[in-house]
Amino acid sequence: MANDVGAELRRFLEAYPDTRHFDVFLHDLNTVERGKRLDRAGALAAYRSGMLLPGSMFALDVLGGTVQATGLGFDDGDADRPCRPIPGTLVPVPWQADALAQLQVTMHEADGRAFFGDPRHVLAAVLERVTALGLTPVVAIEYEFYFVDRERGADGLPQPPRGPLTGRREYRTQINAMADLNEYSPVLAQIARDCHTQGVPATSALPEYGPGQFEVNLQHLPDALAACDQALRFKRIVKSVARAHGLDATFLAKPYRDMAGSGLHIHLSLQDGEGRNLFACDDPATHAPLRHAVAGLLDSMADGMAICAPGPNSYRRFRSEAYVPLTPSWSINNRGSAVRIPVSDAANRRIEYRQAGADAHPCLVLAWMLAGIHAGLTRRTEPPPPLAGNAYAQPAGEPLPTHWATAVERFAASAFAREYLGERFARLYATVKRAELDQFNSHVTPLECAWYLGPL
C-alpha cells in the first residue's frame, strides 16, 4: 500500500513539476480544516509514515479551543498520532498564485488502527455494516450556500453582496432566476473550473430562494467515502474562489433571519452484487426494501438531530413552510417531508434525506443515514403512510427536537448512536457539543439587552 500511495505522489509531481508545497489537512467535527503546509520532503514523509497531529484535533470546539472533558487534551498528554493520506485527494490548488497542492488525510493510532474520533472512520465503520449485506451505496450530495458581502451590515450581521455585474445589493428572492446566474457567472464559472481541476464532479448550479444563494449538485458516486471527500473539497473551493472575487461564501445554515436556510441534501440508492438498484420499483409506497429503509431513517431521525444540525444557528432553519422537516415524515415528490422519494424512472429510484443543514459534517450525516437504512433493512421495520399535500398542516409523528440543547441531550442518551457510531465517538461528540452550548449560552446578546434592559 505504501508503494502505491508513493506512486501517486510521484505521478502528481510528474504532472505538476513546479509544485513545491502541499497543504495537508483533515476536517474536525465542525468541518474546519486542520493541518500543516509541507514542502516536498514533508509530503513524502507523510506518504511514508504519516503526518503527526494531536488527537485533540477532534476535541476542538468551533472556536478552536480544546474541550478538556473529552480526555484528548491534557489527560492524553495532547499526544500526536499519524495522519495518513487519502488516496485520490492529492490535487492542485488552482486559486493560488504559487504552485501549491493539497492533500486530505485521516488520523490513525500508532499501530495503524483508525482513530475513533475521525468522522471519516466513523463513516467507514457504518459503511462496512451496509456492504456486509452485499449492498453498495450510490451517493449524490447537494449543497446550498450563500455569497455574502465581505463587510458586515451596521448590525454586525451578514448582508447580501453587491452584484459583480450590476453593483446592486439585492434583497429579493427569485428561485431559479437566470438573471442571478448571469450576475454571478464569473464566480460560478471559476468554481466549476476549479471543481474539474480538483476532481469534484459538480453537475449543475441553480439560484435558490435567497439573494446570492445557490445550490450545486455533485454527481452520484458508488463510493460513499469519496463522495464525502469531494463534498469537503467543494466547500473549500467555493470559499476560496469567492474570496478571490472579493466576496465571502458561507455554508451557515441560516445567515439571514427572513431568508431561506441552506441545506445539505443527500440522495442515495443501493446496488446489490449484480449492480441492480435495490430500490428500483414502479410504486415506492409498496416496495418493501425501500419502505424498510425509509422506516429506519424515520425511526432514527430525532436521535440524529445534533449530527444534522450541529450548532445554534442550525436550528434557525426549522420553521414552518420553509422546505425543512419538522417531523420524521416521508413522501413521494414532496419537499416538505424529511425523506423524499424524488421523481425518477423505476430503475433510478432513490431516497433524498433532507434533514441536514449545510453546516453539518457530510461524513457524519451520511454515516447516520446509512445507520438508519441498515437498521430498517435488517429489522424490517415499516414506515407510516407517505404524506401528501401540505406537510406542515398535518400530524406526522413526534416533532423533531428543534432546540439545540434538547437535540444534544437526545443524542447523548441515544443507544442507537452508541450502537452505530461507537460509544467512544458518541461520547466525544456529545461532550464537544455540550461545551459549545455552554459557551454560547454564556454570552449576553444585543437582542436580549434591547428587549429586556429597559422594561425590567
**Which pLDDT value is given to residue 173?**
65
pLDDT tens by residue, 175-203 = 556 667 788 888 999 999 999 999 999 98
Question: Over 50: is that where the pLDDT of 2 sits?
Answer: no
pLDDT tens by residue, 273-307 = 999 999 999 999 999 999 999 999 999 999 999 99
**Which pLDDT value is given to residue 50?**
96
Query: Which CATH architecture fits 2-115?
Result: Roll (3.10)
> Please, what's the b/e burial string for 434-456 (b: 16 or more CB within 10 A of its CB; e: otherwise)?
bbbbeebeeeeeeeeeeeeeeee
- Nearest residue to 419 (alpha-carbon basis) of 289, 293, 300, 338: 300
Q: Is 156 left (phi over 0), alpha (psi -120 to 50) or beta?
A: left
**Which pLDDT value is given to residue 170?**
77
Is there a contact between 159 and 262 (Cβ–Cβ < 8 Å)? no
Q: How far apart are CA 47 and CA 51, in angstroms?
A: 8
Average pLDDT, the chain: 94
Q: Residue 155, Cβ neighbours under 10 Å: how many? A: 9
Question: Over 80: is that where the pLDDT of 351 sits?
Answer: yes
Cell digits of residue 71: 480526555
- Domain spans, the chain: 2-115, 127-447
Same fold, 2-115 and 127-447: no
Average pLDDT over every residue of 23-28: 98
* 17, 154, 209 from 44: Cα distances, Å: 15, 48, 46
Cell digits of residue 116: 475513533
Sequence-distant (6+) residues with CB within 8 A of 395 are: 327
Q: What is the three-class DSSP state of 43? A: helix
Q: How confident is the model at residue 174 (pLDDT cuts 50, 70, 90)?
A: low
Which pairs count as long-range contacts for 423-427, CB under 8 Å and 24+ apart, including other chains? 424/116, 424/117, 425/116, 425/117, 425/122
Q: What is the CATH number of domain 127-447?
A: 3.30.590.10
pLDDT tens by residue, 302-324 = 999 999 999 999 999 999 988 99
